[in-house]
């Protein structure tokens, strides 16, 4: 049996949606990597023929780039089933605050197809989106805007393991600076997207917020990955918890019973213990990372929590409480 159809299907899967593009030399390399034997001229001929019946477009650049049209409908073999359509619908509804605009635009054809499939299905699946709600914990801030071209470039660099030159505006800086970065991963936290990376020839791992990047240029050089680096291990070590000492501490605190109620179901750590104390209090003991986030979390309980140890954390809590008391005991400043 001829391998023309499988080869064409494989080629179409490698063509991105506009404004991203791929040239014929790159398509040849990917097809050869998949085991297909074909010439550059044959790929060009196939693309010209397919563009007559499919929403494929090329540009006038050298080398010539090929893309799916930005508004092209997504087609699937086999066709999208109701369960998959429901998944896309829920992603569209609940992840919009976590995904940048460029990603949502890229997924838009799937979203439209999914909504059409659900609209045509008469079963209970169509009513499921009206029966599910996801509520964030705490105050959710609006997502900062990320340049779509920056986002696309960084994700391409991550996939292809390439270095990137970025123009980055540090917090409170007035002028951006250029940084040569080696992308290691992406973390979405509190509606902000962070690039986890190293810079130049250094091995220390850094975090750069995508919304502070003004441009990103992919380089030909391969990115370097620190030996043994694990994104999960990096996160578990408290990198996104705003470390204080960077050490694990033995937290001991008095909680009111109502404030500690959820900790019996969602413990702070594997070694957490909750024991009765005097009156309406319980003593909570757990080994946790010493981070600013822990400090903020404890402060969020107000007078329903008293930190007993370690002494350094108790002192920080006491200093914050005294500073807050002083601010609230003074008169409200007049408006300018």
Higher pLDDT among residues 104 and 250, named by residue: 250
Under the banding of pLDDT at 50, 70 and 90, the label for residue 123 is: low
pLDDT tens digits for range 47-100: 988 888 888 999 988 888 999 887 776 665 455 667 777 788 888 877 765 566
For range 295-314, the mean pLDDT: 94
pLDDT of residue 1: 40
In the predicted structure, residue 154 carries a pLDDT above the cut 60: yes
Higher pLDDT among residues 182 and 145, named by residue: 182
**pTM over 0.75, yes/no:** no
**Beta strands across the sheet bearing 22-23:** 22-23, 65-68, 56-58
Is the domain 243-328 a CATH 3.30.70 member?
yes
pLDDT tens digits for range 274-298: 999 988 999 999 999 998 889 999 9
In the predicted structure, residue 329 carries a pLDDT above the cut 60: yes
Higher pLDDT among residues 88 and 258, named by residue: 258
pLDDT of residue 77: 47
In the predicted structure, residue 192 carries a pLDDT above the cut 70: yes
As assigned by CATH, the class of the 4-68 domain is mainly alpha
Domain-by-domain residue ranges, the chain?
4-68, 82-131, 148-234, 243-328
- Give domain 148-234's CATH number out of 2.60.120, 1.10.3470, 1.10.10, 2.30.30: 2.30.30
């Amino acid at each position: 049996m001829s391998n023309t159809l499988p080869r064409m299907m494989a080629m179409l899967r490698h063509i991105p949606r506009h404004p991203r593009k791929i040239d014929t030399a790159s398509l040849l390399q990917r097809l050869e990597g998949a085991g297909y034997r074909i010439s550059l001229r044959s790929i060009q001929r196939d693309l010209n023929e397919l563009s007559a019946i499919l929403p494929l477009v090329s540009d006038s650049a050298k080398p010539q780039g090929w893309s799916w049209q930005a508004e092209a409908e997504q087609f699937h073999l086999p066709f999208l089933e109701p369960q998959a359509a429901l998944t896309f619908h829920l992603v569209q509804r609940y992840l919009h605050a976590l995904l940048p605009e460029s990603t949502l635009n890229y997924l838009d054809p799937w979203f439209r197809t999914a909504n059409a499939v659900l609209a045509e299905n008469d079963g209970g699946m169509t009513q499921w989106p009206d029966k599910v709600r996801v509520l964030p914990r705490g105050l959710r801030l609006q997502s900062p805007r990320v340049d779509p071209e920056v986002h696309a470039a960084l994700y391409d660099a991550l996939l292809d393991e390439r270095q990137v030159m970025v123009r980055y505006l540090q917090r409170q800086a007035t002028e951006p600076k250029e940084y040569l970065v080696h992308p290691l991963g992406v973390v979405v936290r509190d509606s902000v997207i962070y690039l986890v990376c190293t810079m130049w020839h250094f091995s220390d791992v850094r975090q750069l917020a995508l919304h502070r990047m003004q441009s990103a240029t992919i380089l030909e050089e391969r990115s370097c990955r620190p030996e043994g680096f694990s994104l999960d291990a990096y996160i578990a070590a408290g990198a996104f918890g705003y470390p204080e000492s960077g050490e694990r501490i033995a937290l001991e605190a008095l909680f009111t019973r109502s404030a500690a109620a959820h900790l019996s179901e969602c413990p702070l750590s594997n070694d957490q213990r909750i024991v009765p104390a005097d009156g309406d209090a319980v003593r909570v003991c757990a080994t946790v990372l010493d981070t600013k986030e822990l400090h903020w979390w404890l402060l969020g309980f107000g007078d329903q929590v008293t930190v007993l140890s370690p002494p350094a954390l108790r002192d920080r809590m006491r200093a914050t409480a005294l500073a807050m008391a002083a601010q609230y005991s003074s008169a409200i400043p007049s408006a300018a």
